[in-house]
Structure 1
Amino acid sequence: MTLDIRATVQQLLPGIRRDLEDLVRIESVSADPARAAEVQRSAEAVAALLRAESFDDVEIVSAREDGGAPAVIGHKAGPAGAPTVLLYAHHDVQPENDHAEWDSPPFEPTERGDRLYARGAADDKAGIAAHLGALRVFGDQLPVSVTMFIEGEEEVGSDTLPELLRRHRDRLAADVIVIADSGNWDIGVPALTTSLRGLVRADVEVRTLTHAVHSGMWGGLVPDALITLSRLIASFHDDEGNLLIEGLHSAPAADVDYPEERLRAESGANPGVEWMGSGSAVERLWTKPALAITGLDAPKVDGASNTLVPAARAKVSLRIAPGDTAANAVECLRRHCEQHVPWGAELTFTVVDTGEATAIDATGPAYEAARAAFTEAWDGTAPVDMGVGGSIPFIAEFLETFPEASVLVTGVEDPDTRAHGANEGLHLAEFERVVLAEALLLRNLADQAAITG
């Protein structure tokens, strides 16, 4: 049966790729209100694909009365008594930003070398295509029951996902949930994502003056807001780059080697740049908190006048470790800012958004079935249990809503996918392995149920 599945995937790949390319051509940028109709068109295209696979009760749903952020739900029954598997992906994509930074049009899928380039080619329309490809292997003889849930607002924070899960809980209930929105450790090395950091974003403003004043008349006595904000920002780290915010959680990471040359290549760090912090590379990237300043409001250098700046603002992005909570991180960050703002400056601390960290118990029959499937699909290479330094807060929503389900976080991305950036690309050979692995997983889950049932 294994050779049949492998051969069937190879036979189906051209059609799977055509469907993926058709989806990619739809500019489903959920962050752009002007393209709301494109997001709706994308949902309708996904619904049509599910109906073509004989899914029942295919519906485009939303948690908003205005019909925005459309998600697609459909179900296809397997044998009586077989487990139910929920397959998740999202059909919305990030903005493409400056077209000049792309080597080919961002919404026209283009093959170069071993990759297919386009916005959404990997994140996450390839997740949808991988699910469809795995199902097509079995046709109308599915070994398990399958529910597809394709979200339409992941790239803008999944704000209404909790409400969608609540409204459609019975339809979405499953024994195993496969979330195809992550990646693999390397080309040729699969992975299961078992931890993700959470996120707290806050705007921090300091004010030292009611209005700008002459720097010659008042400099040396009155602190300007830029120096004040700089001192506050500098207080977040010690000289080695370790975070100094008290009360944040850290955790150990998996024993995974991340070679120096690979770190340099994948991060884009300049040759002379030294790494921040202490501990192993994967601890610093996956299981320790990290803070970055992602934006500043201050006068531009060009045209700046000789005045003391009265107010300055920074956007602080704090990644929180698995095991911590967003509520704790907010209070730790707020308290640190209040204690370290210098010279009695007025501080305004505004939370922008938060997302919970995730730690998954990657044990049990479903994970055994997944590891066996991945090892087979990658010709004997076992999957790595991988952490992710970024945040996918909605995974915590699934874990909370369906506590009895086994949640498997997989995906099609690799270290050079460049998701969210220009020249996002899908590695085609790895995509084939992802489709094969998911088909093998469905078979393995059915086999397990037959043995234990």
Structure 2
Amino acid sequence: MAATRDQIAAAVEAVLPAARADLERLVRIPSIWADPAHAADTEASAAAVAELAGRLNPGSVQILRAEGGAPAVVAQWPAPEGQPTILLYAHHDVQPTGGDELWTSAPFEPTEREGRLYGRGAADDKAGVMTHLAVLRAFEGRPPIGVTLFIEGEEESGSPTLPALLREHHELLAADVIVIADAANPSVDTPALTTSLRGLVDVVVEVSLLERPLHSGVFGGPVGDALTALTHTLASLHDEKGEVAVEGLHANSGTDAAAIAVPEEEFRREAGLVEGAEFLGTGTLAERTWHKPAIAVLGIDAPSVAQSANVLLPRARAMVSMRLAPGEDTLAAREKLAAHLKAHTPWGAQVTVTPGSGVAEPFALDANGGSYDAAKRAFSAAYETATVEMGIGGSIPFIAEFARTFPGAAVLVTGVGDPASRWHGIDESLSLSMFGKGVRAEAFLLDELAR
């Protein structure tokens, strides 16, 4: 006889203490795959995840990798007769800390404060890893549907070898439903399905104005400098309202942006805006964050203030990053950005625009159909409030890759982050109450799909 929802909720409650302890164990491993100095830590992280999965299903666990890639953990629970298979995805690698000394508590020593667990990876995405494992524990290793656990090891590096991994193990990873536990909710108490993500491109723009450095006193006035020319170019990327000024880029309103009101004061506080700083652009904060392009200058190559001298710089360059609204053509948008930069470089300076390494397609899905309905019922029951659809301003490049590789599968993008989680930032944290709700929601989802 199938378990009742109350029985499933009780089973989840029983496994949460051990799941939290294991989450803390994972957070203590600095699995920063992007840093070669932490390659061994990433291997240790994969081994720890494999050991936890192996407790539930001995003999089913594999550590896989494509050539040159990070270790990924895969475990399988075959589907009972007539039942679907769900793929549960998360990643065990984490971002660099951004400076250990800036954290309130050590980034790799999990610390609880006011109902939140602080530590790098506590939310992104070791909470996703432990959500999946806790659900499997709640079912005592015998889930009501088929389950493939897939824990990647290089998401924070852009998942460069994931396409190869999906091709090489296509049959192993094929599923009817794919749950990507790497997103967030609009608040601790409101569950969400993420239905849109912005894309990403970046370029390096270099401005050359002189053959060599010149004395600013002798030549300054009639002769300009490359750094000032570059700043003019970069300033042209936004209009006086802060809207992106590159012509021809796509934007849309999005029904999710209209349905979810983002409180301005809360958004300002979480962003850490200084007093008097204004928001850029027009429209609601949700529209600006999820459904409109955004441009930022991420770095400039030029002398530091301490190393500056009275010379006119012959050349200067900058890294320009652009987020793209769902529906945008990524490569076409990069060409539009390059054309704008070239057209707005002053004083006859030479300008070159080189594509950067960052490319991520925007993504949008239509959250209709049986699997989505089941997810909405499950999440609403677990959180005791209606499930909403929302966008994310950031990019998760591999989601489009999953959709392409498994076109018949329903893709559900979920997670246990919230606006206070500070993913990729200083003092990243996880709401422990939301972690419990997230585990309960996913357990209810497996039960809904079985029915």
Provide the TM-score with structure 2 as the length reference.
0.96
1:289–1:321 contact (8 Å) kept in structure 2: yes
Q: Which residue in the other structure is 1:72 paired with?
A: 73
Equivalent pairs: percent with the same residue?
A: 53
Please give the per-residue CA displacement for 1:413-446, whole angstroms capped at 9, x wherever unaligned: 1111112122111110000000000000000011
CA distance in 1: counterparts of 2:23 and 2:285, whole angstroms: 35
Asked if 1:164 is matched to 2:165, the reply is yes
Is the counterpart of residue 308 in structure 1 residue 350 in structure 2? no
Is the 2:32–2:41 contact (alpha carbons within 8 Å) kept by the matching residues of 1?
yes
Report the equivalent of 1:320. 324
Query: Does residue 7 of structure 2 align to residue 33 of structure 1?
Result: no
Residue in 1 that maps onto 2:11: 8
Deviation per residue, 1:154-211 (Å, 9 max, x gap): 0111011111111111111111000000111102111111100010111111010111
Secondary structure at the counterpart of residue 349 of structure 1: strand
* Aligned pairs for 1:97-112 within 5 A: 97-112=98-113
Give ranges in structure 1 of 5+ residues lacking alignment.
448-453
CA shift at 1:214, angstroms? 1.1
When structure 1 is superposed on structure 2, of 250-259 and 34-43 the one drifting more is 250-259
Give the one of 404, 411, 416 matched to 1:412. Answer: 416
Aligned to 1:155: 156
Q: How many residues align?
A: 444
Contact 1:9 1:435 in 2 (8 A): yes
Distance of aligned partners of 1:214 and 1:140 in 2 relative to their CA distance in 1, 3 Å threshold: closer
Deviation sequence 1:95-137 (CA, Å, 0-9, x none): 1232211222211111122011111111101101000111111
Between the aligned partners of 1:300 and 1:420, the Cα distance in structure 2 is: 26
Aligned-pair distance for 1:56? 5.0
> 274, 279, 285: which is aligned to 1:281?
285
- Structure 2 unmatched runs, 5+: none
Please tell me whether the aligned partners of residues 55 and 74 of structure 1 are also in contact (alpha carbons under 8 angstroms): no
Q: 1: CA distance between counterparts of 2:126 and 2:246?
A: 38
For 2:342, the equivalent position in structure 1 comes to: 338
On the 8 A contact 1:144/1:446 being kept in 2, the answer is: yes
**2 CA distance for matches of 1:27 and 1:267?**
25
Q: Which of residues 14, 17, 22 is equivalent to 2:20?
A: 17
Correspondences of 1:116-127 after superposition (within 5 Å): 116-127=117-128
Distance of 1:55 and 1:444 partners within structure 2: 26
The equivalent residue for 2:373 is 368
Partner residue of 1:294 out of 298, 302, 326: 298
Match for residue 60 of structure 2?
57
Give 1:55 shift: 5.7
Partner of 1:451: none
Q: Within 2, Cα distance between the matches of 1:438 and 1:49? A: 18
Tell whether the 8 Å contact from 1:30 to 1:39 is kept in structure 2 after alignment: yes
TM-score scaled to structure 1, two decimals? 0.96
- Measured on the aligned residues, the alpha-carbon RMSD in Å equals 1.2
Does structure 2 conserve the Cα–Cα contact (< 8 Å) formed by 1:56 and 1:76? no
Is the contact between residue 78 and residue 141 of structure 1 (CA under 8 Å) also seen in structure 2? no
Kept in 2: contact 1:20–1:121 (CA 8 A): yes
Match of 2:47 in 1: 44
Checking the alignment, whether the CA contact within 8 Å between 1:251 and 1:287 is kept in structure 2 is yes
Q: Does 1:421 align with 2:422?
A: no
Alpha-carbon distance in structure 2 between the residues aligned to 1:126 and 1:275:
31
1:358 counterpart residue number: 363
Q: Secondary structure at the match of 2:420?
A: coil
Q: Which runs of 4+ in 1 moved over 6 A?
A: none
SS at match of 1:413: coil
Please say if 1:395 is aligned against 2:375.
no
* Paired residue type of 2:359: T
Q: Which amino acid aligns with 2:159?
A: S
Distance 1:377 1:205 in 2: 52
State the Cα distance separating 1:283 from its structure 2 match: 1.0
> How far, CA to CA, are the matches of 2:118 and 2:307 in structure 1?
40
Tell me, in whole angstroms, the C-alpha distance in 2 between the residues paired with 1:266 and 1:140: 39
- Letter matched to residue 115 of structure 2: D
Are residue 217 (structure 1) and residue 218 (structure 2) matched? yes
| Whole-angstrom CA distance in 2 between matches of 1:342 and 1:207 | 11
